[in-house]
Amino acid sequence: MVKHHKILIFASGSGTNAEQIVRHFSPNSSVEVLGVYSNNPSAFVLERAKQLGVSTHVFNREEFNNPEGLLKNVQAQSPDLIVLAGFLWKIPTHIIDAFPNKIINIHPALLPKFSGKGMYGHHVHQAVIDAKETESGISIHYVNSQYDDGAIIFQAKTPIDSDDTPESLAQKIHKLEHRHFSEEIEKLLLPRGKQVNLYTDGAASGNPGPGGYGLILEWEGTPHKKTHSQGFIHTTNNRMELRAVIKGLQLLKKSPLDVVVYTDSKYVSEAVDKKWVLGWEKKGFKNKKNADLWIEFLEVFRKHNVRMEWIKGHNQHPQNEYCDKMAVKASKQAESHIEDTGYQNKE
Shared domain check, 152 and 47: yes
Residue 241 annotated as catalytic? yes
- Per-residue pLDDT, 118: 79
* Domain edge (last residue) among 148, 163, 189: 189
CATH number, domain at 282? 3.30.420.10
For residue 329, give its domain range: 196-336
Peptide bond into 191 cis (omega under 30): no
Whether residue 347 is contained in a domain is answered as: no
Shared domain check, 159 and 239: no
The domain total for the chain is 2
Distance CA 19, CA 48 (A): 7
Whether residue 343 is contained in a domain is answered as: no
Shared domain check, 326 and 211: yes
Average pLDDT over residues 89-118: 91
Catalytic residue among 177, 186, 220, 264: 264
Shared domain check, 152 and 29: yes
Shared domain check, 201 and 174: no
Give pTM, 2 decimals.
0.58
% of the chain residues with pLDDT over 90? 79
Best CA proximity match to 218, nearest among 200, 203, 240: 200
Shared domain check, 200 and 185: no
Q: Which amino acid is at 340?
A: D
Catalytic residue among 167, 183, 314, 339: 314
Shared domain check, 115 and 89: yes
- Per-residue pLDDT, 192: 62
Q: What is the pLDDT of residues 12-34, one digit of tens each?
A: 999 999 999 999 998 877 899 99
- Per-residue pLDDT, 341: 93
Catalytic residue among 241, 296, 317, 340: 241
Residue 309 annotated as catalytic? no
- Quote the DSSP letter at residue 283: T
Residue 97 annotated as catalytic? no
Catalytic residue among 13, 202, 211, 248: 202
Residue 264 annotated as catalytic? yes
**Cα 6 to the center of its chain, rounded Å:** 23
Q: Give the model's confidence band at 121: pLDDT under 50 very low, under 70 low, under 90 confident, else very high.
A: confident
- Per-residue pLDDT, 2: 43
Whether residue 232 is contained in a domain is answered as: yes
- Per-residue pLDDT, 191: 65
**Cα 195 to the center of its chain, rounded Å:** 11
- Quote the DSSP letter at residue 200: E
Residue 163 annotated as catalytic? no
Shared domain check, 200 and 182: no
Strands (E), the chain: 5-10, 31-38, 56-58, 81-84, 103-107, 135-142, 152-159, 196-204, 209-219, 225-235, 258-263, 305-310
Q: Give the model's confidence band at 140: pLDDT under 50 very low, under 70 low, under 90 confident, else very high.
A: very high
Whether residue 224 is contained in a domain is answered as: yes
Catalytic residue among 164, 296, 324, 340: 324
Residue 324 annotated as catalytic? yes
Catalytic residue among 184, 186, 201, 340: 201
Query: Contact, 264 vs 235, CB < 8 A?
Result: no
Q: What is the pLDDT of residues 45-84, one digit of tens each?
A: 999 999 999 999 999 999 999 999 999 999 999 999 999 9
Average pLDDT over residues 323-346: 92
Q: What is the pLDDT of residues 232-277, one digit of tens each?
A: 999 999 999 999 999 999 999 888 888 999 999 999 999 999 999 9
% of the chain residues with pLDDT over 70? 97
Whether residue 327 is contained in a domain is answered as: yes
Shared domain check, 244 and 173: no
Q: Give the model's confidence band at 187: pLDDT under 50 very low, under 70 low, under 90 confident, else very high.
A: confident
- Per-residue pLDDT, 147: 79
Shared domain check, 135 and 58: yes
